Structures are given as C-alpha cells and as structure tokens.
Amino acid sequence: MSVRVRFAPSPTGPLHIGGVRTALYNYLFARKNGGKMLLRIEDTDQNRYVPGAENYILEALKWVGIEIDEGQGVGGPHAPYRQSERKDMYRTYAEQLIAAGKAYYAFDTAEEIEAMRKRLEEAGADAAQYNAITRLQMTNSLTLSAEEVQQRIANGDPYVVRIKIDPKQDIRFKDIVREWVAVHASTLDDKVLLKSDGMPTYHLANIVDDHLMGITHVIRGEEWLPSAPLHVLMYQYFGWAAPQFAHLPLLLKPEGNGKLSKRDADLGGFPIFPLQWQDPTTETIARGFREDGYLQETIVNFLAFLGWNPGTEQELFTMDELIEAFSLERIHKAGARFDITKAKWFNQQYLKGKSDKELAAILEASHNAPAVSHDTLLKVCHLMKERVTFPQEILSETAFLFETPTEYEEAIVASKWNADAIKAITAYVEDLKIYEGDFLADSAKAIWAAAAERVGIKMGKVMQALRLAVTGAGHGPDLMLTMEILGKDEVISRLEKAISTLPQV
C-alpha cells in the first residue's frame, strides 16, 4: 500500500510553529516513501472557528515549502476536505456504531452531567467520568426503552451519541516513536462522537476521514497520545484496519522545563507562529518568523532538528537532503528544547550562502529597500551579509551609508583622532579630488595608501580615524567597499566635514 499521510489542523487561529513541524515531518515522510501528502481542515468545533485562519494555514505551508498533493486548496478524489462540509456523512457512521451496539444516544442535560460529576467527586471517585459505570445512572438509550428513545428523538429532544466502551479489555498498539502502548479500557470514558448540533467530534470525524481517505500513517503531536487508545478501539469497532501511529515529542521552552507557549515566546522575544497574524477581533498583531527575517530554509532545517537527527554531523540540509535522510525511527521520544539561538545560527549560515542578487531581491520584496540603484543595493548586500543574522539588518546596520554622520564615536575621537590622522586624511582628500578613474574599493585603498606614504604616516596607524571620518564609528564592515558604495564625492564631503568638525589637535 502506498504511503498516504495527512496534516489536519483546526482553523482556530494562527498555526503554531509546532504544527508546522508536524506538517513538515509528514511531508518528509511522504516524499521519502514516494507517497502523498493530504491537507484536511478539521473545523467541526464551530465555536472556535476564526475567520482567516484557514487561509493563514495554506499560506504558511506554502511559505515553508510544503507541497500539498491532495486536499483543501488543491482538491482530489475525496473532496470535500473541510470537515464542516462532510457533516451529514458522519451521522451515518455514528448510527452504524449504534446499530452494532458500540455507541448509544444520550439525552442528559448539562445540569444532569454536572450533578453526576459532583456526586462522584464528593464520593472520592478517582475520575468523575461518563463511563461504563455511570452511564447506567444517566438518561440514555441504555437506560430508556426503545420506545422512549424514539419518542424523544421524534420530539426533537437534544441528544449526543457516545461511544460505548467495553471496560473489560486491554488496548495495545505499537507506536513508531513510542514502541508499545498499552491501556486498559476501564480507564476510558464514553466520549461524545456526535454533538447535539449534528457535528462530529474530533474522535469520530478523524477516524472516519482517515479511513475513507486511505491514510496509512498518522503522524501527530504527543498531545494526542492519550486519545490514541480510543481511536484504536474505534477502528476495531468499525472493523477497519488502523493506520500506523507516530506521536511526535513536545516542543519545550528554551530552558527545557515545560511545553513551549506563546507567553514563553513573548518573554523570550521571539515569534511562535510561522507568519505574522492579526487577530480579527482584537486586531492585536502576533509576530511571525517570516516577518522577523527568518528564511524559509532556516525554518525547515531548524524544525527538522527539533525531535529528529540524521545520525551524522551534517547540520545544514536542503529540503531534498532532508527527504533523503528522514526516517520516523530516528525521531526522539523526549521533548525538544526550542533553542532560538540555534535558529538564528541557521539563519546566519543561510544568509551567508545567498548570492548578493538573492538578498537584494528579498530586501526589495520587503518594500524596505532604500531609494538607491539596484547595483548599489547589490554592493550593500555583499558588504553586510556575513555580518548580520537577518536580511533587514543589512539596512538597519548600514544607516551610515545613507545619512552623513552628525555624531562621532567619542572613544575613537579621543584615542585615534590626532595630528597624524588629520594630516593623512587631508592628503587623501587632496589626492581624491584629482583622481579621475573609476572609484572602486581597490582604487580607494591604493589612493589612501599612496597619500599616507606621501606624508610619511603608516596607513594602519590612522585607518580607524579614517573610518571614523567616513562613518562616524570606529568599527564596521569593509571600509574600502563602504567608500566605493558612497562614491568619491560623498567620501570627500564626509572627510572634509570631519576635518572641520572634529578637534584640531
């Protein structure tokens, strides 16, 4: 049987970065095994539905580079792929379980259920659940006659459909990550499968859709592990073959103590969503990795290593290389610490590997590029790409290129601005004014060396003063390339301003 996996998010808000990792692992596994990647939108909880969330999911997956073979936004033979549009079908399967004695109608009101739980808590019960014991004291088709049940349904009384757990069995299944998992059915409660509004719960819709869509492997987060025994039991109740399960480790706080949350990200000063998100109700904006300047390659590489490793020393992978190296068997059981410092390191590596043309295109697409020529922007990218972590820093760290200094670094003025510096820079200005060739980094350096030699001063001794005069600071990127970008006339203007403005020593 060919591999078929699915990513099935709920449109309840922005996609968490942990969800992106789940999607990525599904995608890598599908591509490695020549299989298909499906996208299904699980929107059965209409109370939590958030407008715009579905489009956000589609855009986020596209940005990361996850190609959907079948599903929402693509189509396919099992459409529709939005669960709310499959609503009527689920009732058929719920009633199939009822007919087989594996589920039942329950007419209990919210007040009756709360009273039952309160009684159990007061009696010191281990769990206040609607289960094999308590269901016999409640209002359902197990305690009512067939006639009463039909009359209630005919009257339009609200009801849910609950699974009927047989408490006398062990449920065992082998998880690809966790190995064997065993749970006694007596610990499970009779979960609701079909809600009073006719919508299925996750438990029913997920099982039915995975079966009908031919899903062979369910790769999902560890938070779903407690539900897995119920799902395995439901496959048995339907008489269907269950897919193989792989439950992924949690993403932990940067300190490693507890599950990563948005609050942790806010406190740590980093995003937790792939793309920026504006809440449609409050209009508050949550940061996104893309808008913060993380590259697509960075996110793929970083997320791949959060819970998996290739078993080699290689750290930088293309998507194709990850597909080749990936296996579910190399996923860790333990939680993965969300080390944002490592993400920044990945970003630095991928920035360095970008061509000047690629970086310029990123800056131009961001609409933050300065009003300079494309050739100048290419030079700025070349100047800065090995000195920054994020593309936008190429511009923020080069403000000196676009604004003449109005202040000068005091410590450098005090230590490096002296008579020799003034003498050498004055000579440099004189030589620049009579130079008529192309003003490139090499020529800027040659003229500077000749001017310093002409006045008998070692070039290296006054180099920091020259940088101070040009940029206002004592440290920065390659000075000669900086001057090439500025152009001869601007360099002369800045040098003359420094000579007239700074102390005459």
Tell me the catalytic residues: 262
Angle between helices 296-304 and 340-353 (to 10 degrees): 140
- C-alpha span between 181 and 241 (Å, rounded): 17
Phi, psi of 273 (to 5 degrees): -115, 150
SS3 78: coil
Largest CA distance in the chain: 112
Cβ atoms within 10 Å, residue 400: 18
Distance from C-alpha of 234 to C-alpha of 242, rounded to nearest angstrom: 9
Across-strand partners of 277? 286
Query: In the sheet that 70-71 helps form, which strands lie side by side, from edge to edge?
Result: 4-7, 36-39, 70-71
Q: Which residues pair with 82 in a beta bridge?
A: 41
Residue 88 backbone phi and psi in degrees, to 5: -65, -30
Strands 70-71 and 36-39: parallel
Which residue type does 383 have?
L
Enumerate the β-bridge partners of residue 248: 221
3-state DSSP percent of the chain in helix, strand and coil, to 5: 50, 10, 40
* DSSP string over 322-336: HHHH--GGGB-SS-E
Measure the CA dihedral 232/238/244/245, to 10°: -40
Phi–psi pair at 409, nearest 5 degrees: -60, 115
Q: Can you say whether the dihedral through the CA atoms of 199, 66, 37, 219 is positive or negative?
A: negative
The beta strands (E) that lie in 237-293 are given as 244-248, 251-252, 277-278, 285-286
Tokens encoding 299: 């996110």
Beta carbons of 484 and 439 less than 8 angstroms apart: yes
Residue 485 to residue 482: CA distance in whole angstroms: 5
